[in-house]
Structure 1
Amino acid sequence: MRNAYQVLRGETRVTAQKTIEYFSYYLLVLGACLVFAPALMAAFILLPPPADNNILFVGFLVLVLAYYYWRMARDTNTAFFQATVIGRLGLFLATLIWVVFAGLAANYLVILAIDAAGALWTANALKRQGDAGFKFV
């Protein structure tokens, strides 16, 4: 049984499987907010409320991704874990480029910073487990 002292000292480690499972719960909450409370979600990142219902579609896609992440975590699919690191960091980098060069609202970086932090957490867990060999194909 872990206690808070062990966690703070870094004596206990979270597996890559757990990082993906926790990330699936984050996606579940994010998707539910986008589907059921899009105005609240927009206010959270200081954007105006969505003018149309397209956000509902995006929210449902996030819910589907949440299921994929949860399912892959349950199956301990290490190849999927490695792919998510590349995908999540790539999405953050692409969004950063769009903010700088295409005028996208910087507020999106708030949500994607959470994604990038999760990707780094997963990458660190994979490295500790000896599974850090990333495969692009």
Structure 2
Amino acid sequence: MSHAAFTIKAFAVYLVALGASLVFVPNLMLSIFGFAPTNEVWIRVLGVVVFNLGWYYWYAAASEARPFFAASVATRVFALLAFSGLVVKGFAPPMLALFGVIDAAGGAWTWAALRRDRRFFH
């Protein structure tokens, strides 16, 4: 397994765990991050989407889908920018930016791993 694939698998585990928690114990997750509890179905719908995204990451890593790895770097950095923008505009509490930080840090890790793999495998 390449270094980049390992970073993608690690992110997959994070996404699957986050998604499952949003489906099964959404208010626990919301309270941990300072969000108001909800009984709306949308948080669970989001959990299903995040869970499924985690599986895409897992299988992309298993198949060494390098174009996916590269694309994920940009989208995970974008998450930080988007979530920060929502916080700055007052649409979301500051803790939302933490999810963006996690995404961007994972993206940076994958970017560094892609560069490392290119040095070792070319």
User: Could you tell me the TM-score, scaled by structure 1's length?
Assistant: 0.81
* DSSP-derived class of the 2:15 partner: helix
Matches within 5 A, 1:112-131: 112-130=100-118
| 2:27 alignment partner AA | A
Counterpart code for 1:24: A
Bigger fraction of residues in helix? 2
CA-based RMSD: 1.5
- How far off is 1:115 after superposition? 1.3
* Pairing of 1:40-119 with structure 2 (within 5 A): 40-119=28-107
Q: How many residues align?
A: 118
How much does 1:102 deviate? 4.2
CA distance in 2, matches of 1:102, 1:50: 19
5+ long unaligned stretches in structure 2: none
CA distances 1:26-46 after superposition (whole Å, capped 9, x unpaired): 001000110000000001101
Instruction: Look up the match of 1:20.
Output: 8
- Partners of 1:112 and 1:97 in 2: CA distance: 10
Percent identity between the two aligned chains: 36
What stretches of structure 1 of length at least 5 have no aligned partner? 1-13, 132-137
SS at match of 1:52: coil
